[in-house]
């Protein structure tokens, strides 16, 4: 059995829900065959989110880590390819912190690439009937903060673990004007189960040789 840790964020920015946590719980409740999945909710707070991730990793001892975040306005599941060593917050986090032009890890590398087979993961989500794409930017808010923190944790402490970050769209209940794209968390969870199955089954260092990706 492959042990998986999947994380989502607490609601932020005045929202009452966060679809990343909704989807994470659904996947953990009904994991793909051959995988055991533990879900953990991370605070939408710079610093504390990475500490909570580290605690969850050490508690669950996973082989694979998938961190999720909300990206309102994106039409599908987006598998992030790279996280950058930069906090540059457009809005405050849930504790009022708003770092500008600060490093996630002072002195750390400029960026970390996902250790998941990002293009194979996108193909798997699409095959499950869920819109998906490769993304080349996780932004500079708490999502990127956690994505970079995960990469740094793997690079410095847990070289046997693979992991990456995925953004999910708004849930329908968050779209009040009916014009922005949204996906039901149950639909997102279906795609994520396919993603995890593919990530676990794909040998380290292998991926599909296809083009794809956007900076949004």
Among all residues, which ones are annotated catalytic?
Answer: 80, 143, 167
Q: What is the dihedral of CA 58, 62, 63, 64, to 10 degrees?
A: -110
Distance CA 144, CA 97 (A): 15
Contact 159, 62 (CB under 8 A): no
Alpha carbon distance 67, 145 (integer Å): 11
Contacts of 104 by beta carbon, 8 Å cutoff, 6+ apart = 50, 85, 86, 87, 144, 145, 148, 149, 152
Work out the burial of residue 207: count CB atoms within 10 Å of its CB; fewer than 13 is exposed, 13-18 middle, 19 or more buried. Answer: middle
First vs last C-alpha separation in the chain = 36
As beta bridge partners, residue 82 has 113
């Amino acid at each position: 059995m492959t042990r998986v840790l999947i994380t989502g964020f607490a609601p932020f920015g005045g929202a009452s829900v966060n679809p990343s946590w909704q989807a994470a719980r659904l996947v953990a409740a009904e994991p793909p065959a051959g995988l055991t999945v533990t879900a953990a909710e991370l605070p939408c707070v710079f610093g504390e989110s990475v500490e909570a991730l580290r605690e969850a990793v050490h508690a669950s001892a996973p082989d694979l880590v998938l961190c999720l975040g909300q990206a309102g306005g994106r039409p599908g599941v987006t598998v992030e390819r790279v996280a950058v060593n930069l906090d540059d917050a457009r809005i405050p986090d849930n504790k009022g912190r708003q770092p500008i032009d600060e490093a996630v890890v002072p002195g750390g590398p400029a960026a970390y690439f996902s250790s998941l087979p990002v293009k194979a993961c996108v193909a798997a989500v699409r095959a499950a009937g869920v819109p998906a794409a490769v993304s080349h930017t996780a932004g500079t808010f708490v999502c990127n903060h956690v994505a970079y923190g995960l990469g740094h944790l793997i690079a410095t402490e847990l070289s046997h673990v693979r992991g990456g970050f995925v953004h999910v769209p708004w849930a329908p209940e968050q779209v009040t004007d009916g014009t922005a794209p949204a996906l039901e968390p149950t639909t997102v969870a279906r795609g994520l189960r396919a993603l995890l199955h593919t990530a676990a089954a794909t040998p380290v260092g292998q991926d599909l040789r296809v083009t794809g990706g956007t900076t949004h």
